[in-house]
C-alpha cells in the first residue's frame, strides 16, 4: 500500500524572501538521498509530500537532511467532517485517552479550527470507548485542513533542523583525524554551508591508516552533504623545514600559519567562501585567543570555528550522536601530534612569527604543496581501497 509522508520545513518558513531557493535546494538534497527509492515528491510553499512504498527507510534517509523540522506519516482524506472523523476513529482505536488538534490553512472552510476539533472529537467519543484528555492525552490526532485535502496524523518524527546544505555556498573544512573537526563540519553543514575538506599529511611521519581514518570521517559527514571532496596536502617538507629552522616553542604556531596559507589558496582555487575548523578556545596552546589571532592573521577570508565555545564533553556527545566518535578515537598519529614541542608558546607574537618565517623559503614550499594536492571525491570502498 502506498504511504504518504508530509514534510514540515521548519526554520525555512520564517525566511520568506528566500523561500523559493530554500525549497529548491532542499528538494535537490532530498532527491539525492531518495534516488534509490520509488517515491514521488510534490511540494508547495509550506509542505512537501512524499509518496512511497515502505516509509521506514525513507524516514531514516530524511533524518539526515538539514532543513526539515519534522516528518509525519499521514493519511489524506476529503475535506469534510465525516471523512475526517472516520479516519480519526481508525487511528485512535488502540488508545484510551485522546485529543484532536486542528490547523486550518484553508480559510474558506466554514468552521474554525476549534469547531472542527470539537466536532471530530464528539464523533470519536460517540463511536469508541475513549475519553478526551486535553492536558495529557495518550494520543493526539492532528488534523490539517489544506486546499489540496485534509491530512490526519498521530505520529510526528523530528527532523534534524538547520538549513538545506548548500544554501550558503561552500566552505573548506580543515579535517584532522581528531574528535573536534568532524563535529565542526557537521555544525557548518547544519547552517547550510556545504563543504570540501582539507587534510595535511606528513608521510612517513604519518601513516596510511591516519589518512584512511580521515577519509572514513569524511565519508560519515558526507552523508549529510553528498558533495564532499577531500584535498590531501603533502605537508612533510614544510613540516621538516619548520622543525629545522624555527625555534621549537614556535613550531606549532608557524605550522598552523602554513596550514592556513595553504587552506586559503585551496579556497580561492575552488571558490570556497570560508575556512571551517575544529579549534576550541583554550583546548591547547595553539588555541588561546592570542595564538588564534596570530595564526588567523595570514588569511583574509572568514574562519568559522563551530566548536569554539563548546566543552570537550559537549563535543564528544555530538560526535557520538553523528557517529564519528568511534572512528575519531582510533589511535593513529597525525602530523601535529608527531611534531609537538615540549613547551609550545601560549601567547605568540606576530612579529616573532614573521621573523622566524624569514629563516626559510616557505612560499615556495606552500606553492609546491598546493600543486601536489591529491583530491579524493568518492568514498566508495572500492575507490579508496588503496588506503585500507
Ligand atoms: P580535533 O581538534 O579535530 O580533535 P586535533 O585535536 O588533532 O583534532 P588540533 O590540534 O586541536 O586537532 O587542531 C585544531 C584544528 O585544526 C582541528 O580541529 C582541525 O580543524 C585542524 N587540523 C589540525 N590538524 C590538521 C590536519 N592534519 N589536517 C587538517 N586539519 C587539521
Ligand atoms: Mg582539538
Of residues 207, 258, 246, 227, the one with CA closest to residue 365: 258
Question: What are the tens digits of pLDDT across the range 27-53?
Answer: 999 999 999 999 999 998 889 999 999
Residue 341 sits at the vertex; the CA angle it makes with 304 and 324, to the nearest 5 degrees, is 45
Q: Diameter of the chain by CA atoms?
A: 88
Which of 7-21, 72-86, 143-157 is predicted with the least confidence, judged by mean pLDDT? 7-21
Q: Which residues surround ligand 2, an ion (CB under 5 A)?
A: 180
CATH number at residue 372: 3.40.50.620
297 in the same domain as 193: yes
Using pLDDT thresholds of 50, 70 and 90, give the confidence band for residue 112: very high
Q: Are 70 and 8 in contact (CB under 8 A)?
A: yes
Residues 6+ apart with CB under 8 A from 202: 234, 235, 236, 239, 335, 338, 339
Q: The C-alpha cell of 4 is what? A: 504518504
User: What SS3 class is residue 158?
Assistant: strand
pLDDT of residue 379 exceeding 80, the answer is: no
Q: Are 188 and 304 in contact (CB under 8 A)?
A: yes
Q: What is the pLDDT of residue 332?
A: 74
Ligand 1 centroid, distance to 339 Cα (angstroms): 13
Helix ranges, the chain (H): 19-33, 55-62, 81-92, 113-127, 180-190, 208-222, 236-245, 251-270, 289-296, 312-322, 325-328, 335-338, 350-357, 362-371
Peptide bond between residue 35 and the one before it cis (omega within 30 degrees of 0):
no
The domain in which residue 41 lies consists of 3-161
Report residue 373: phi and psi, to 5°.
Answer: -65, 140
Helix (H) or strand (E) holding 337: helix 335-338
Among protein residues, the one with the nearest Cα to ligand 1's atom 13 is 279
b/e code 328-363 from CB counts within 10 Å (16+ = b): beeeeebbbeebeeeebbeebeeebbeebbeebebe
286 in the same domain as 362: yes
Question: Which atom of ligand 1 lies at the shortest distance from residue 183's CA?
Answer: 3
pLDDT of residue 105 exceeding 50, the answer is: yes
Q: What is the pLDDT of residue 16?
A: 62
Distance in angstroms (rounded) separating the CA atoms of residues 381 and 384: 5
Ligand 2 centroid, distance to 64 Cα (angstroms): 25
pLDDT of residue 13 exceeding 70, the answer is: no
Q: Are 149 and 78 in contact (CB under 8 A)?
A: yes
212 in the same domain as 310: yes
Ligand 2 centroid, distance to 344 Cα (angstroms): 15
Ligand 2 centroid, distance to 149 Cα (angstroms): 52
230 in the same domain as 82: no
- End position of a domain, from candidates 161, 178, 195: 161
207 in the same domain as 106: no
Average pLDDT over the chain, rounded to an integer: 93
- End position of a domain, from candidates 110, 126, 161: 161
Ligand 1, pocket-test mutation among 202, 313, 336, most atoms within 8 A of CB: 336
187 in the same domain as 119: no
CATH number at residue 43: 3.30.2130.30
Question: Which atom of ligand 1 lies at the shortest distance from residue 337's CA?
Answer: 7
> Structurally, how many domains does the chain consist of?
2
105 in the same domain as 34: yes
pLDDT of residue 142 exceeding 60, the answer is: yes
Residues with CB under 6 A from ligand 1: 174-176, 178-181, 198-200, 277-279, 283-284, 334-336
73 in the same domain as 12: yes
Mean pLDDT of 281-301: 91
User: What SS3 class is residue 307?
Assistant: coil
Using pLDDT thresholds of 50, 70 and 90, give the confidence band for residue 388: very low
255 in the same domain as 292: yes
Name the CA radius of gyration of the chain, rounded: 27
312 in the same domain as 240: yes
Ligand 1 centroid, distance to 277 Cα (angstroms): 7
pLDDT of residue 183 exceeding 50, the answer is: yes
Answering whether pTM is above 0.85, one says: yes
Q: Find where cell 465525516 sits.
A: 82
Ligand 1, pocket-test mutation among 171, 172, 174, most atoms within 8 A of CB: 174
Ligand 2 centroid, distance to 346 Cα (angstroms): 15
Ligand 1 centroid, distance to 299 Cα (angstroms): 17
233 in the same domain as 137: no
User: What SS3 class is residue 75?
Assistant: strand
Distance in angstroms (rounded) separating the CA atoms of residues 243 and 240: 5
184 in the same domain as 156: no
Mean pLDDT of 16-36: 90
Q: Are 303 and 274 in contact (CB under 8 A)?
A: yes
- End position of a domain, from candidates 140, 161, 182: 161
Question: Which atom of ligand 1 lies at the shortest distance from residue 278's CA?
Answer: 18
Amino acid at each position: 500500500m502506498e504511504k504518504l509522508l508530509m514534510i514540515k520545513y521548519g526554520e525555512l518558513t520564517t525566511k520568506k524572501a528566500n523561500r523559493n531557493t530554500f525549497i529548491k535546494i532542499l528538494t535537490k538534497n532530498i532527491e539525492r538521498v531518495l534516488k534509490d527509492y520509488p517515491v514521488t515528491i510534490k511540494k508547495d510553499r509550506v509542505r512537501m509530500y512524499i509518496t512511497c512504498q515502505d516509509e521506514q527507510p525513507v524516514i531514516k534517509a530524511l533524518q539526515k537532511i538539514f532543513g526539515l523540522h519534522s516528518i509525519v506519516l499521514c493519511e489524506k482524506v476529503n475535506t469534510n467532517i465525516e471523512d475526517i472523523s472516520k479516519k480519526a476513529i481508525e487511528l485512535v482505536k488502540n488508545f484510551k485517552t485522546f485529543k484532536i488538534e486542528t490547523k486550518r490553512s484553508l480559510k474558506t472552510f466554514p468552521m474554525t479550527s476549534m469547531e472542527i476539533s470539537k466536532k471530530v472529537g464528539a464523533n470519536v467519543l460517540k463511536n469508541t470507548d475513549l475519553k478526551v484528555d486535553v492536558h495529557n492525552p495518550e494520543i493526539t490526532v492532528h488534523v490539517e485542513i489544506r486546499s489540496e485535502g485534509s491530512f490526519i496524523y498521530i505520529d510526528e518524527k523530528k527532523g534534524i533542523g538547520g538549513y538545506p546544505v548548500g544554501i550558503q555556498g561552500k566552505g573548506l573544512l580543515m579535517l584532522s583525524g581528531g574528535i573536534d573537526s568532524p563535529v565542526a563540519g557537521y555544525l557548518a553543514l547544519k547552517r547550510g554551508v556545504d563543504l570540501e575538506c582539507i587534510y595535511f599529511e606528513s608521510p612517513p611521519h604519518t601513516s596510511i591508516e591516519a589518512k584512511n581514518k580521515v577519509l572514513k570521517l569524511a565519508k560519515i559527514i558526507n552523508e549529510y552533504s553528498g558533495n564532499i571532496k577531500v584535498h590531501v596536502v603533502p605537508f612533510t617538507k614544510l613540516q621538516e623545514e619548520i622543525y629545522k629552522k624555527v625555534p621549537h616553542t614556535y613550531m606549532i604556531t608557524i605550522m598552523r600559519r602554513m596550514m592556513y596559507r595553504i587552506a586559503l589558496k585551496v579556497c580561492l582555487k575552488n571558490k570556497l567562501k570560508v575556512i571551517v575548523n575544529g579549534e576550541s578556545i583554550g583546548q591547547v596552546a595553539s588555541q588561546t585567543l592570542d595564538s588564534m589571532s596570530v595564526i588567523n592573521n595570514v588569511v583574509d577570508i572568514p574562519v568559522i570555528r563551530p566548536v569554539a565555545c563548546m566543552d570537550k564533553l559537549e563535543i564528544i556527545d555530538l560526535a557520538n550522536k553523528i557517529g564519528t566518535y568511534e572512528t575519531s578515537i582510533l589511535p593513529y598519529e597525525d602530523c601535529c601530534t608527531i611534531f609537538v614541542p615540549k613547551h609550545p608558546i601560549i601567547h605568540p607574537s606576530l612579529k616573532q612569527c614573521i621573523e622566524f618565517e624569514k629563516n626559510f623559503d616557505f612560499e615556495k614550499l606552500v606553492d609546491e604543496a598546493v600543486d601536489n594536492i591529491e583530491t579524493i571525491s568518492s568514498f566508495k570502498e572500492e575507490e579508496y581501497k588503496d588506503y585500507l
